[in-house]
Structure 1
Amino acid sequence: MDIVWFPLHITLFICSVTAAASEAALAKPNCSSHCGVLTEIPYPFGIGAGCYLDHWFQIICDRTASPPKAFLNVIGLEVLEISVEGTLKVTSPITFSNCSNKPLGLQAPNLEGSPFVFSQKNRFSSISCGGIALMTSLYGSTIGGCLSICDNTNTRVLQPNSCSGMKCCQTTIPLHLSAFNTSFGAVLNADSQMACKFAFLVDHDWFTSNSTNISAISEMDSVPIVLEWSLLDYTNFEIYGTNNWTDDKITNCSSHCFCSKGFQGNPYLLDGCQVPSSVLGQLFLLFGGWWSHKVVRKRKHIKRKKKFLKQNGGLLLEQQLSSGAVNVDKIRLFNSKELEKATDGFNADRILGKGGQGTVYKGMLTDGRIVAVKKSKIVDRGEVGQFINEIVILSQISQGNVVKLLGCCLETEVPLLVYEFILNGTLSEYIHHQNEELPLTWEMRLRIAIQVAGALSYLHSAASSPIFHRDIKSSNILLDEKYTAKVADFGTSRSMSIDRTHVTTKVQRTFGYLDPD
């Protein structure tokens, strides 16, 4: 069984290794790490309460979109990618002028007061014919800009990923830029003054990639840009929940933290930097751990079974077996797994009845036989002898009106006895609860009484040594499919030597139902 399940364990483990690398090592524990195409959301970013540092780092996942889209909650920008190394890729609107079917006045986001700034990986870009695009501060001063020259021959077209100054120009941006506005200056060609022109900040790597077509940008409303984020203005307590946090797995922790050489993970989580290992190595560790666990569990199981066997009178039964008092051929020693399976894990729906000594369950053995399994309530070691006594007593009995013992199990926490299954329940049920289908006539009552008397006579006189039941009552008399009486529940019985003609003992079990003997 374990060998069959091992490939499944391996498959699940490989999946968990992949998930652990992207989720457990980067996101805060028990927090979602993805939303649509955004497959990694490392802390201090997060979705849901308690999963992000503060409101600046809160991610909202719009699951009404298909696929779902992630947004920075405060700024409202769609998030495309987050790096634990301090960068964030988002979408930023394009500023259009004189372009049909395009909105006017859209500007790049204002990041002032936030832990974000525009990265110098971006380029300020303009696409027009002889137009000047300007970057201005929020106070109106010019901080950058570029001029795109119009090709008078009108033969030059924009190359898929090139911006050389003809119809398209680019420029770098100032360091630590957090806000700017885009505007358009005077054009060199008056005829093109009312022509469509647009400018935008854009991730330079995306702009120059082979998959980007510059000519298609005019049909877009936004482009990807790169932001840089830092925790320079936050304390250790705010980030990690402690002021005394130190970790030699993390280095260069000023505005950004990084895992030390040889470690990987999220330096913004406590114990977030771990030594990387290959999947093969982890599979080896898994197999070793699985095998060790299996060996330890097996040893513990064997040790527990030995403990219960001794606790449940196994040594006493061995003594009886060795003395020849027990007919070994008629007793089967069941293992716990057999009886667990037979009773569906001792399901409450399988209960046939409950008594002072335990609960009886209906079960089916692997060979198809229906049996009754009695599970003891007794935990007092001093009373365990009753069960061994019942085994010894019933092993000596071969009489048609005595319930047959099939075997026992002593390796469980409480001992289990397995009997033949008697179909029609107890005599008590027919006496105290009228059954219209089978009324208990005086003829039937007399026949049952004779059968029980015959069983007692056998026990008292015909057995190898006299056996006193000591708790004969209607609830201990069972009826089979032919309504033949079967005496049951020998837990309090006594076996006497033939030469012992008198025994003084206290009344056992139900007062008033002690054998006359």
Structure 2
Amino acid sequence: MLFIVGSSARTHPDLCNRVCGGIEIPFPFGIDGNDCYLNPWYEVVCNSSVPFLSRINREVVNISLQNGVLLIKDYVSSSGCSRSRQGPGNSQPLNISGQGSPFFLTDTNHLVAVGCNTRAVMTDIQPQIIGCETSCNETNSRICQTRIPEWQPQVAGVSLENHEGGNTTGVGGCRAAFLTSEKVNVPEPEKFDADGYAAVELGWHYDTASAPHVESLSRCQNVTAMGGTIFNTSCYCSYGYFSGFSYADCFCDSNYPGNPYHQDGCILIDRCKEEGRYKCGKDEICVNLRTSTKCVPKQRKSNPVIKGVLIGLALLFFVMGVFGLYRFLKNQKRIYQSKMFFRRNGGLLLKQQLARKEGTVEMSKIFTSKELEKATDNF
């Protein structure tokens, strides 16, 4: 899908109805109000459980995010049939033109004419003229098909003519002509006239000016800048220009399904929940990887009471260790100060004098501070 610059921002849709008639309507398309779709071109009207694109008035058959396309029902032009529509062989044109139109016809579509001596011509297509015609010689000749190129937004109609030119009349039997992306091998125009519609494939663009949605694309790998190389990533985008607009073409990796335009984006497949595919042992748990899974050992659960007791004991021993270290350092400081005061106050000199006078009557004795405190009863 393509992303074009030039639209107003919308709040991110989170609480919108995303299903109509069993058909999923993913963002940027939406049903319930302006905040559920990107801009009015993406508005889907859900009438009687049938989704219609509001701007082009066509029923929606399918919307694909991964392929960037949608299928719609377009009218069948018919003439000379029991239920011929839209007058003399012309259907209501498919108008995908207009300012800001995000739609274009993809090259998977082809113009089909069914019936005898039937000519189908595309109208309102510029600058080319495209058509095909059938004959009545053989059964296979009653069907003609021609591929159409991928076009920018415009009006595309189908005109049904006879070989002599001009619109068909009831003469010559039933004839039908239409655009479709499906394979056609039924030579009976009555079937298509009865259906009244054929499936047509439209490509669609995304408006990159619609912040904050563009912010979600910043996590996607830019394959244009990487020269087309794709590394392990959940989503990727290519960038370029189309019909005068800048665009980005973004997709989720096949292992990460989701919507690249959502804030949640592309999410890894939970293969571990696929019952019966990935089994681990009773002491193992399953872990998701990008393209596979692996089994890893379970972490053993510990008893919270025992865990609390162990933590408490560890804290107690830590506090006791800190207190013991404090007492040890304090005692070492006191011993150091005693030695320093002893030297400062002449203790060494006194010791030397006592040593020289050793053996004389006049003996002196050095008392420690504790001995003095004991002798004087702490006085």
**TM-score over 0.5 for the alignment?**
yes
Give the TM-score band, short-chain normalised.
0.5 to 0.7
- Equivalent position amino acid for 2:250 in 1: C
Residues 430-472 of structure 1 show CA distances to partners (whole Å, capped at 9, x for unaligned) of xxxxxxxxxxxxxxxxxxxxxxxxxxxxxxxxxxxxxxxxxxx
Residues 1:264 and 2:264 are matched in the alignment = no
Matches within 5 A, 1:56-95: 56-62=41-47, 65=48, 68-85=49-66, 86-95=68-77
Normalising by structure 1, report the TM-score: 0.42
State the Cα distance separating 1:196 from its structure 2 match. Answer: 3.1
State the Cα distance separating 1:195 from its structure 2 match. Answer: 3.5
Q: Structure 2: where are the runs of 5+ without partners? A: 1-11, 222-233, 240-247, 286-297, 309-379
Q: Find the partner of 1:230 among 202, 205, 211.
A: 205
Matches within 5 A, 1:112-511: 112-113=97-98, 114-137=101-124, 143-151=129-137, 156=139, 164=140, 166-176=141-151, 178=153, 179-187=155-163, 194-205=172-183, 207=184, 216-231=191-206, 234-238=207-211, 240=213, 242=215, 245-248=218-221, 249-254=234-239, 255-260=248-253, 262-278=255-271, 280=273
- Equivalent position amino acid for 1:274 in 2: I
CA distance in 1, matches of 2:274, 2:41: 39
Contact in 2 for aligned 1:131/1:186 (Cα 8 Å): yes
CA distance in 2, matches of 1:222, 1:132: 19
Contact in 1 for aligned 2:114/2:144 (Cα 8 Å): yes
| 2:249 aligned counterpart, secondary structure | coil
| 1:217 aligned counterpart, secondary structure | helix
Q: Residues 118 and 274 from structure 1, CA distance in 2 versus in 1: closer, same or farther, beyond 3 angstroms?
A: same
Give the total of aligned pairs. Answer: 247
Residues 222-259 of structure 1 show CA distances to partners (whole Å, capped at 9, x for unaligned) of 1111111122xx22544606499443432134342112
State the Cα distance separating 1:278 from its structure 2 match. Answer: 2.2
CA distance in 1, matches of 2:91, 2:157: 9
- Equivalent position amino acid for 1:227 in 2: L
Aligned to 1:37: 22
State the Cα distance separating 1:56 from its structure 2 match. Answer: 0.8
State the Cα distance separating 1:110 from its structure 2 match. Answer: 0.9
Residues 335-389 of structure 1 show CA distances to partners (whole Å, capped at 9, x for unaligned) of xxxxxxxxxxxxxxxxxxxxxxxxxxxxxxxxxxxxxxxxxxxxxxxxxxxxxxx
Q: Counting strand residues as a fraction of each chain, which structure ranks higher?
A: 2
- Equivalent position amino acid for 1:176 in 2: W
State the Cα distance separating 1:108 from its structure 2 match. Answer: 3.6
| 2:19 aligned counterpart, secondary structure | coil
Q: Residues 216 and 244 from structure 1, CA distance in 2 versus in 1: closer, same or farther, beyond 3 angstroms?
A: closer
Computed over aligned residues only, the root mean square deviation of the Cα atoms, in angstroms, reads 3.8
- Equivalent position amino acid for 2:19 in 1: H
- Equivalent position amino acid for 2:51 in 1: A
Superposition misfits of 4+ residues, deviation over 6 angstroms: 188-192, 282-285
State the Cα distance separating 1:33 from its structure 2 match. Answer: 1.9
State the Cα distance separating 1:43 from its structure 2 match. Answer: 1.0
CA distance in 2, matches of 1:191, 1:270: 56
Q: Counting helix residues as a fraction of each chain, which structure ranks higher?
A: 1
Contact in 2 for aligned 1:131/1:147 (Cα 8 Å): yes
| 1:46 aligned counterpart, secondary structure | coil
State the Cα distance separating 1:124 from its structure 2 match. Answer: 0.7
Contact in 1 for aligned 2:256/2:269 (Cα 8 Å): yes
State the Cα distance separating 1:47 from its structure 2 match. Answer: 1.6
State the Cα distance separating 1:200 from its structure 2 match. Answer: 0.3
Contact in 2 for aligned 1:187/1:193 (Cα 8 Å): no
CA distance in 2, matches of 1:181, 1:123: 13
| 2:262 aligned counterpart, secondary structure | coil
Q: Residues 227 and 213 from structure 1, CA distance in 2 versus in 1: closer, same or farther, beyond 3 angstroms?
A: farther
CA distance in 1, matches of 2:258, 2:174: 47
Aligned to 2:6: none
| 1:120 aligned counterpart, secondary structure | coil
State the Cα distance separating 1:171 from its structure 2 match. Answer: 0.6
CA distance in 2, matches of 1:261, 1:199: 38
State the Cα distance separating 1:269 from its structure 2 match. Answer: 1.5
| 1:273 aligned counterpart, secondary structure | coil
Normalising by structure 2, report the TM-score: 0.55
Q: Residues 213 and 35 from structure 1, CA distance in 2 versus in 1: closer, same or farther, beyond 3 angstroms?
A: farther
- Equivalent position amino acid for 1:30 in 2: L
Residues 266-291 of structure 1 show CA distances to partners (whole Å, capped at 9, x for unaligned) of 11112311111226259999xx8xxx
State the Cα distance separating 1:191 from its structure 2 match. Answer: 11
Contact in 2 for aligned 1:130/1:192 (Cα 8 Å): no
State the Cα distance separating 1:29 from its structure 2 match. Answer: 2.5
Contact in 2 for aligned 1:116/1:229 (Cα 8 Å): yes
